[in-house]
A = this chain, B = another copy of it.
Amino acid sequence: MLFTAGEYAQRLASVRQRMDAQGLSALLVTDPANIYYLCAYNAWSFYTPQVLFVPAQGDMILFTRDMDARGAFRTSWLPPDSIEAYPERYVHRPHLHPFDYVAYALRQRYLIAAATHGCVGLEMDSHFFSPKGYRALVNAIPEWTLVDCFELVNWVRLVKSPAEIQLMRKAAVVCNGAMKVAQESIEAGERQCDVAAAISHAQISGTPEIGGDYPAIVPLLPTGEEADTPHLTWNESRFTQGQAVVVELAGAYRRYHVPLARTFSIGTPSDDLARLADAVADGVKSVLDIIRPGVPVRELASTWNRTLAKYGLEKPSRLGYSIGIGYPPDWGERTVSIRSEDDSVLEENMTFHLMAGMWMDNYGFELSEPFRVSGSGVETFAAFPRELLQKGTCS
Measured CA separation A43–B141 after assembly (Å):
38
Q: A124-B131, A332-B92 are in contact. Are A211 and B229 (CB under 8 A)?
A: no
Cβ of A220 under 8 Å from chain B: yes
Which residues of chain B are within 8 angstroms of A71 by Cβ–Cβ distance?
226, 228-229, 231-232, 359
Binary B-proximity of A198-212 (CB < 8 A = 1, otherwise 0): 101111111000111
In-complex Cβ contact of A128 among B127, B148, B205 (8 A): B127
Binary B-proximity of A74-111 (CB < 8 A = 1, otherwise 0): 11000000000001110111100100000000000000
Cβ of A68 under 8 Å from chain B: yes
The segment out of A264-272, A281-289, A316-324 that lies at the interface is A316-324
The segment out of A44-52, A160-168, A372-380, A382-390 that lies at the interface is A44-52
Which residues of chain B are within 8 angstroms of A47 by Cβ–Cβ distance?
127, 217, 329-330, 332
The segment out of A12-20, A189-197, A292-300 that lies at the interface is A189-197
Cβ of A129 under 8 Å from chain B: yes
Cβ of A39 under 8 Å from chain B: no
Cβ of A334 under 8 Å from chain B: yes
Q: A193-B206, A206-B193 are in contact. Are A67 and B230 (CB under 8 A)?
A: yes
Q: A75-B232, A204-B200 are in contact. Are A193 and B211 (CB under 8 A)?
A: yes
Residue of B at shortest CB range from A202?
B197
Which of A94, A133, A200 has its CB near the most chain B CB atoms (within 10 A)?
A200
A214, B233: Cβ atoms under 8 Å? Answer: yes
Cβ of A218 under 8 Å from chain B: yes
Please report which residues of chain A, range 47-70, place their CB below 8 angstroms from some CB of chain B when the two chains form the complex.
47, 66-68, 70
Residue count of chain A within 8 Å CB distance of chain B: 84
A43, B231: Cβ atoms under 8 Å? Answer: yes
Which residues of chain B are within 8 angstroms of A132 by Cβ–Cβ distance?
124-125, 148
Which residues of chain B are within 8 angstroms of A341 by Cβ–Cβ distance?
89, 93
B92, A334: Cβ atoms under 8 Å? Answer: yes
Cβ of A180 under 8 Å from chain B: no
Cβ of A150 under 8 Å from chain B: yes
Which residues of chain B are within 8 angstroms of A122 by Cβ–Cβ distance?
131
Which residues of chain B are within 8 angstroms of A67 by Cβ–Cβ distance?
229-231, 316-317, 357, 359
In-complex Cβ contact of A74 among B70, B91, B232 (8 A): B232
Binary B-proximity of A152-196 (CB < 8 A = 1, otherwise 0): 000000000000000000000000000000000000000111101
Measured CA separation A335–B126 after assembly (Å):
24
Measured CA separation A46–B328 after assembly (Å):
10
Measured CA separation A46–B218 after assembly (Å):
13
Q: A130-B131, A131-B131, A211-B235 are in contact. Are A229 and B68 (CB under 8 A)?
A: yes
Binary B-proximity of A115-142 (CB < 8 A = 1, otherwise 0): 0000000101111111111110000000
Q: A205-B193, A329-B46 are in contact. Are A130 and B135 (CB under 8 A)?
A: no
Measured CA separation A344–B68 after assembly (Å):
27
CB distance from A169 to the nearest CB of B (A): 16
Which residues of chain B are within 8 angstroms of A369 by Cβ–Cβ distance?
none
Closest 8 CB pairs of A and B: A71-B229, A211-B236, A193-B211, A197-B205, A131-B134, A197-B204, A47-B330, A47-B329
A–B Cβ pairs within 8 angstroms, 19 of them: A43-B233, A67-B229, A68-B230, A70-B229, A71-B226, A71-B228, A71-B232, A87-B316, A91-B318, A92-B334, A94-B150, A125-B130, A125-B132, A127-B130, A130-B131, A134-B134, A200-B204, A211-B234, A329-B329
